Structure 1
Amino acid sequence: MPTINVKKVDIERLVNMPLEDEFIESKFPMMGVEVEEIFEEDGEKIIQFSINPNRPDYLSVEGLARGFRGFIGIETGLKKYDVECSNVKLFVDNVTTRPYIAGALIKGIIIDDYVLESIINLQEKLHWVLGRDRKKVAIGIHDFDKVKPPFYYKEVKGDEIKFVPLNCDEEMTPKEILEKHEKGIKYGHLIKDDKFPIILDSEGNVLSMPPIINGELTKVNTETRNLFIDVTGIDKYLVEKTLNIIVTALAERKYAKIHSVEVIENNNSTIYPNLKEDVIITTPDYINRVLGTNLTPGAIINYLRRCRLDAQFVDNKLKVIIPPYRVDVFGEIDIAEEVAIGYGYDKFFGEYPSIATIGELDKLEKKCDFIREIMIGFGFYEVINLMLSNDEILFKKMRIEDDNYIEVLKPASIEHRIVRKSLLPLLMETLRINKHKELPHKLFEIGDCVVIDESMETKSRVVKKIGGVILDSETNFNEIKSYVEGLLRELKIEYELENYDHPSFIKGRCAKILRDGKIIGYFGEIHPEVIVNFELEHPVVGFELEIE
């Protein structure tokens, strides 16, 4: 989950009350926000929060403070935001690569170091959580007083225009930015067919080249008082919601006022931001049935108001009003969750089911527990990794070419979008993360892997596996072979060993494990290129074995 670091003094001034550390650690988790740690840095107290990806409105200190004020009862109910007309226009000229754009102004904002840091952090976190690392959404935040509207959003060729990109002191063409600039190299793959989206003002000054880089001309600093915000992308809904999250967050700052921008394309005009609330209809009976409670309509409305929503009770139905910055509320079950948060998770208690059976561990789980005891006896430490990862770790770093895998359609982050087929890559990643620890490292994991199987109803099959790795200056093939054979002997598995040519292992130092002619696992010395890919400096041996 994404994390944000918040200066305690900043959230205190937004909540408008002093907050004890114990109070923070006890209350924020009850509203669904984990407090990872509270520490001091450069004489200031910092709070690190872990934010669920479904609550991008909490990715800023302003959004957190708004939610917290409601949760502790300082300011409850729906927060209304006024949008004043600015008469600023933005003309769109047939942009095909990133066709959607929305804009807004924030006027009168006082930007100190806290606010500037919050703006930058919110922009980057939204790029990651909603924008899928800028693929779907890219955000530009500019000093409005340094440019002259109206604005123009169009595509240019790679050498058609020059401007100074952010944090640079020389002009570059769009093509040069992709070749030389750090952001251009990183995000250049999002530009296609030599078509470069550009946002200009009426005098030809470049504000931004989305989704790559803003211009140095409109760089925001503590002297800035008026902001122009542009959000571009390939998903209209996300573009509009991202803009709503940003402007409503900044409007929480003192003196900041939201002003509209008129986007004009093909003689069609749209006024942004659109801060119209959504409405969901539910009933008290549904809420109580889902939560196992007996709450009155008035109590339900009160708990919804604590979550910064609002509701009306008419004709035995609840008309729930959703603020424009929320992207996670779609139906009745989401309303029930909000009521549960407002009511308090600490007030729910479990009940034993009234059934005449006694549960026991599944036979496979008993077998896994037995294997754990063996591996711990061998001196290995158990780790538990996520089933989701990415192609960089699962394939590229392991020297594997494979496109036959299961990918999540709408992942929470680009780092967790592919379902693993093997345990070894994530064990290697665990070694990388812990490489500063004292040698030797002996790790194992027992977990599920998912492989494609057209014969199954789901077109996939879950396979329980065990994997192990050893990182040490003197480890070798014979060491991992002894552990694998010891494990097989304890499991009473009859097996055969044969040479195995696996791209992740050194050729001639890898063996496959056969049972009744079928490959059930393999082990050997990890290839030096794989070791370097994971930034390790000592030999690594490993194995993987199907348990079922």
Structure 2
Amino acid sequence: MPTVNVKKYDLERLVNMPLDDKFIEDKFPMMGVEVEEIREEEGEKLISFSVNPNRPDYLSVEGLARGFRGFIGIDPGMSKYDVEKSDVKLYVENVKTRPYIAMALIKGIVIDNYVLESIINLQEKLHWVIGRDRKKVAIGIHDFDKVKPPFYYKEVDNISFVPLGYNEEMSAEEILEKHEKGIKYRHLIKGKYPIILDSEGNVLSFPPIINSELTRVTERTRNLLIDVTGTDKVAVEKTLNILVTALAERKYSKIHSVEVIGKEREIYPKLKEETIVVNPDYINKILGTKLQPGIMINYLRRAKLDAVFSENKLIVYIPPYRVDIFSEVDIAEEIAIAYGYDKFKGVYPEIATIGELDKLEKRCDFIREIMIGLGFYEVINLILTNEKVLFEKMKLKGDYIEVLKPASIEHRILRTSILPLIMETLKINEHKELPIKIFEIGDCVILDGNRVREIKKIAGAIMSNETNYSEIKSHVEALLRELRIDYEIDRYDHPSFIKGRCAKIIKDKRVIGYFGEIDPEVLTNFDLEFPVSAFELLIE
């Protein structure tokens, strides 16, 4: 989970009260934020908080202080933010690589070391948690007084400016080849270069790579211009909301709008709250409580939400910086947190039963015994992976389920197959003595029409100098024989296997698996130096 380092003095001035270390350690975990440590550093106390990725509004000291004020009851209810109209405009041309942009102004902010550090840290945390390392969303924060509106967002063939942290001009092409950020993120640029300019042709930003040194934010900055670009409109808008509302928590800060003119005219930021209608009986059923609607509203206000009770329903108002509330279940969770998890007591079931393993799990245990008897070692991988491993390296294409808010870009989709992860495990263990014989039994998630279905599969592989089609076939047939499955074997052309050295397993006229020798191109994709034979089978 992301770690947010906060200066205790800054947290106290935002909460507007002194905070004892023990009080911090006791209370913050109750609102879902773990305190990793409180330590002395350079003459002042530093607190490290571990924040769940589903709460990006907690990725700054401002957001943490806002939530804490509500949780302890000194500032309950939804925070309201006024947006003052400005005459600043942004004109958007046809930007294909990153088509969406939102922009806003923060005027009157007083920036010191604490504020400057918080801005930089929040920007980087949002790049990771929402932006998927800038692929989905990238943020630019500028000194507004150093540029002149209106602004222009366009794609160009090339342009030169002084990038942030440098003192000499570089072309966009040179930045991608020589600048640290350019080298790291140049894979996100395809074709022309997206650029944000002011009315005099000054470059503000080269998203998602680097800002201009011209608009560097310092302690002398009083007015901030914030741009958020990306490939997902909702993510862009929500990221801007989190940024401007966090900065508006600072003394004297005022949010000002920017008109973005492209295919449509839109005014940013969009700080309109959303609503969810909840049945109080549902909340009580989920939580096992007997709370009255009025009490629920009080707990929701401690969660920095607002609600009214009308016609036997709770109408809950969600602030614009919350991106994690979608349904009644989420509202129940907010009430549970404010109510206090320590107050929930376990309830014994009224009917005594004796538990036993599910039939499918018993079958899986039996298969494990067979595979171990055949000389294989069991491995366990995560059900989460990425498109490169699951499809690209295996020379495959297919549909998959994507995780909405992944903790890592390497683990962002649910696997549909186990074999690619077995190949990765072989790579990790290639220094071991040959032959290597491994298998895994686990869950896969597939799309079955309009339905998402979870299935059990087994995959196994042998890596050695002498492994071949006949060897893996003998192991697969031994497994099928022990499982007493009536099956047929027929020739099969699978992209991941050598043509003519692969077969499919058929039961009741349905393909339930396949085996064979892995294609040399797939071996190269996984950086494997030895032949591999493998199989994958559906467990019914």
TM-score in terms of structure 2 length: 0.77
Alignment correspondent of 1:422 = 417
Alignment correspondent of 1:546 = 538
Task: Give the Cα–Cα distance (whole angstroms) in 1 for the partners of residues 488 and 311 of structure 2.
Answer: 73
Q: How does 1:361-440 map to 2 (within 5 A)?
A: 361-375=357-371, 378=375, 380-386=377-383, 388-398=384-394, 400-402=395-397, 404-408=398-402, 412=406, 415=410, 418-430=413-425
Q: Quote how far apart the aligned CAs of 1:52 are.
A: 3.7
Gaps of 5+ in 1: none
Q: 1:479 to 1:48 in 2, by over 3 A?
A: farther
SS in 1 for 2:257: strand
SS in 1 for 2:76: coil
Alignment correspondent of 1:241 = 238
Q: Quote how far apart the aligned CAs of 1:103 are.
A: 1.4
Alignment correspondent of 1:5 = 3
Task: Give the Cα–Cα distance (whole angstroms) in 2 for the partners of residues 322 and 120 of structure 1.
Answer: 27
Q: How does 1:59-458 map to 2 (within 5 A)?
A: 59-73=59-73, 75-81=75-81, 83=83, 87=86, 89-95=88-94, 97=96, 98=99, 100-105=101-106, 107-112=108-113, 115-116=115-116, 118-131=118-131, 134=134, 137-145=137-145, 147-159=146-158, 161-167=159-165, 171-174=169-172, 181-182=182-183, 185-189=186-190, 194=192, 196-220=193-217, 224=221, 226-233=223-230, 236-253=233-250, 255=251, 257-263=253-259, 265=261, 272-282=268-278, 284-313=280-309, 318-349=314-345, 351=347, 360-375=356-371, 378=375, 380-386=377-383, 388-398=384-394, 400-402=395-397, 404-408=398-402, 412=406, 415=410, 418-430=413-425, 443-450=438-445, 458=450
- Please tell me the residue identity of whatever aligns with 1:144: F
Q: Quote how far apart the aligned CAs of 1:272 are.
A: 4.0
Q: 1:144 to 1:405 in 2, by over 3 A?
A: same
Matched, 1:465 2:463: no
Question: Mean alpha-carbon deviation: is it higher for 524-533 or for 284-293?
Answer: 524-533
Q: Quote how far apart the aligned CAs of 1:392 are.
A: 0.7
Task: Give the Cα–Cα distance (whole angstroms) in 2 for the partners of residues 236 and 216 of structure 1.
Answer: 27
Task: Give the Cα–Cα distance (whole angstroms) in 2 for the partners of residues 110 and 543 of structure 1.
Answer: 61
Task: Give the Cα–Cα distance (whole angstroms) in 2 for the partners of residues 306 and 442 of structure 1.
Answer: 55
Can you list the C-alpha shifts for 1:202-222, whole angstroms capped at 9, x where unaligned? 432110133443223223456
Q: 1:94 to 1:539 in 2, by over 3 A?
A: closer
Question: Mean alpha-carbon deviation: is it higher for 10-19 or for 288-297?
Answer: 10-19
Q: Quote how far apart the aligned CAs of 1:417 are.
A: 5.5
Q: 1:321 to 1:448 in 2, by over 3 A?
A: closer
- Please tell me the residue identity of whatever aligns with 1:182: I
Identity between Structure 1 and Structure 2 (%): 56
SS in 2 for 1:7: strand
**Does structure 1 conserve the Cα–Cα contact (< 8 Å) formed by 2:401 and 2:445?**
no
Alignment correspondent of 1:49 = 50
Task: Give the Cα–Cα distance (whole angstroms) in 2 for the partners of residues 30 and 439 of structure 1.
Answer: 49
Q: Quote how far apart the aligned CAs of 1:459 are.
A: 6.8
Q: Quote how far apart the aligned CAs of 1:304 are.
A: 1.2
Question: Mean alpha-carbon deviation: is it higher for 377-386 or for 44-53?
Answer: 44-53
Q: 1:158 to 1:111 in 2, by over 3 A?
A: farther
Alignment correspondent of 1:17 = 19
**Does structure 2 conserve the Cα–Cα contact (< 8 Å) formed by 1:435 and 1:536?**
no
**Does structure 2 conserve the Cα–Cα contact (< 8 Å) formed by 1:476 and 1:541?**
yes
Q: Quote how far apart the aligned CAs of 1:286 are.
A: 4.7
Q: Quote how far apart the aligned CAs of 1:383 are.
A: 1.1
Task: Give the Cα–Cα distance (whole angstroms) in 2 for the partners of residues 34 and 292 of structure 1.
Answer: 25
Task: Give the Cα–Cα distance (whole angstroms) in 2 for the partners of residues 334 and 460 of structure 1.
Answer: 22
Q: Quote how far apart the aligned CAs of 1:384 are.
A: 4.3
Gaps of 5+ in 2: none
Q: Quote how far apart the aligned CAs of 1:144 are.
A: 3.0
SS in 2 for 1:468: strand
Task: Give the Cα–Cα distance (whole angstroms) in 2 for the partners of residues 469 and 506 of structure 1.
Answer: 15
